[in-house]
Amino acid sequence: MPTINAYVALDAAEKEAKKDYIDRHSPFVTVASSAKKGEKLAVNVRLGKDYSHPDDTDHYIAEVKLFDGETQLAGATLFSGANGGQGNKGQAEVTFFVVPQKNLKLTALAYCTKHGLWQSTPVEVTVA
């Protein structure tokens, strides 16, 4: 079982030393806080809030998955070069469209080929 990493708040001393590493690997979920049952809902997952991730042949974001609790709703496979290639730090970003039937607790997972699996903070969506 791989280690699952997650975004954490850092104190001022740790922030400068680790923020870029943690930030660039952490998936961030952006979605409306409410939705209508049976209507399409856009869910954006972006890697890094302030820093972008490398897109090298041996170090890139290979996979992004979206979960509602323990149920996988969507996934995307990315390949080296998808965000500009060697030397570029393109922002890995995917927008999924889901059709909710009940309230959602969305979590994204992203897999870095060099630093493993990273988990987002859960985001709740009220469905009426």
At 32-49, the pLDDT tens digits run 999 999 999 999 999 988
Which pLDDT tens digit goes with each residue over 85-112? Answer: 665 566 789 999 999 999 999 999 999 9
Name the strand (E) or helix (H) holding 71: strand 71-77
Query: Between the CA of residue 73 and those of 38, 64, 68, 107, what are the distances in Å?
Result: 15, 11, 7, 10
Q: What is the pLDDT of residue 11?
A: 67
Phi/psi of residue 22, each to 5°? -70, -45
Contact in structure between 113 and 58 (CB atoms under 8 Å): yes
